[in-house]
Homo-oligomer: A and B are copies of this chain.
Amino acid sequence: MLSLLDLSRRIDAGDLTPAAAIDRTREAIAAREPEVGAFVRVDPAPAVATAGPLAGIAVGIKDIIDTADMPTEMGSPIHAGWRPRADAPVVARLRALGAVPLAKTTTTPFAFMDPTATRNPHHPGHTPGGSSAGSAAAVAAGMLPLALGTQTGGSVIRPASFCGVVGIKPSFRLLPTVGVKCFSWALDTVGLFAAGVADAARALALLADRPGLDLPPTGPGTIRIGLVRQDFCAAPSAAAQQALTRAAMAAERAGASVHDLALPGLFGDAFAVHPTIQGFEARQALAWEYAHHREALPPALRAALDEAQGIETQAYDGARRTAHHARRSLKDVFGDGGVDVILTYSSAGAAPAGLASTGDSRFNRLWTLMGVPCVTVPAGTDDGLPLGVQVIARFGDDGRALAAARLIEQALA
């Protein structure tokens, strides 16, 4: 994979110009893209900044995120060829930092569950996950050092886990969702894919203008890890369970304290209401598409929106209250529970075979609803396909999630 930090070091040292770095990225794309299919389009002649903390860094932009110089098509013929007037703020920020938004990456239609044609770089017969399929696959295939995705259920953490890269879904609204096609305004979160935890931390620190998120060279000191198995949803694969155990043991060997943490029943309730919030908001967010282009919607999304028409407003209001109570209670889990971070599954297992399904998000949905920072780190493989583990911190504590994730990454190395 292409390490953002490594590229930046070589550019800073004068060993590589930003233009040469972009050219190398292009060569990698030319070599791997035919078999992976991660891109909707690659800008043939982008402006390349010669300075800035992300100079020479080519970035993939999920194709539900507005770009002024390339169409933004939402993975759907309904928006084919659509040209936004303005860059989304996250894209404008990338440019201001010297990065090159080089390509639009594939997305499932409107970032729901109908698959893309993108293939898992570790095995072309397997899905890369979704909905941020192209962003995860492009980083995994070594075609880009950085890519933007979004998560409403599990659309950053799951594909990152399936593709064997680091993914971060930051605290809710740490990165603005302005100019990002909305599916659910209470849930949609912009996230990042990178080769390693330190690469992701550097990118997030710059994008969010919070230098403290950049990882220091020293470790996080003693860190208290609560091991959470999310028993409110169906069990993961045996390989995913082994990966979690492996990560926990590695963290202990590296000096962390690890203990089992059972979440109160309220979190099972919150997990269960995620689809109500998502569906009620999606039927509004996509009301124009549903009213005017229902037949052009892909089958899973069409069926989901058909069903969402029946969600009662009271059910939505009740779901929001449940989520609100769970968010408050989660502060106590961290505070009174004596836990700095939670360690749990990133996904139910490795990437499923075939491209018909993007896998499921059941180990991600609660955390998206809680708005807390989540980082997935590769933690082994199952029959050659990557498996990740997920590190979660309290709201606003993205730096601690990253520090603990790096500790695990290094302990597993």
Contacts and interface: CB of A to CB of B under 8 A. Distances in A.
Contact of A68 (B85, B284, B288): B288
Contacts of A182: 176, 178-179
Contacts of A289: 86
Interface stretch (A90-98, A216-224, A252-260): A90-98
B79 A82 contact: no
A31 interface: no
A89 B288 contact: yes
A281 interface: yes
19 contacts: A86-B288, A86-B289, A87-B287, A89-B285, A92-B287, A92-B288, A92-B291, A93-B287, A96-B287, A96-B291, A173-B185, A173-B186, A176-B182, A176-B284, A176-B285, A178-B182, A178-B285, A179-B182, A208-B313
Q: How large is the interface on A (under 10, 10 to 19, 20 to 34, 35 or more residues)?
A: 20 to 34
Interface in A164-208: 173, 176-179, 182, 185-186, 208
Give the interface centre of A92, A178, A281 by most chain B CB atoms within 10 Å.
Answer: A178
A10 interface: no
A96 B288 CA distance: 10
Nearest to A80: B85
A76 to B, nearest CB: 11
Contacts of A185: 173, 176-178
A238 B93 CA distance: 47
A85 B86 contact: no
A224 B169 CA distance: 45
Nearest to A66: B288
Contacts of A89: 284-285, 287-288
A325 interface: no
Contact of A176 (B79, B95, B179, B281): B281
Give the interface centre of A186, A208, A288, A289 by most chain B CB atoms within 10 Å.
Answer: A288
Give the interface centre of A79, A89, A317 by most chain B CB atoms within 10 Å.
Answer: A89
Contacts of A307: none
A27 interface: no
A12 interface: no
Nearest to A177: B185
Interface in A64-94: 68, 79, 82, 85-87, 89, 91-93
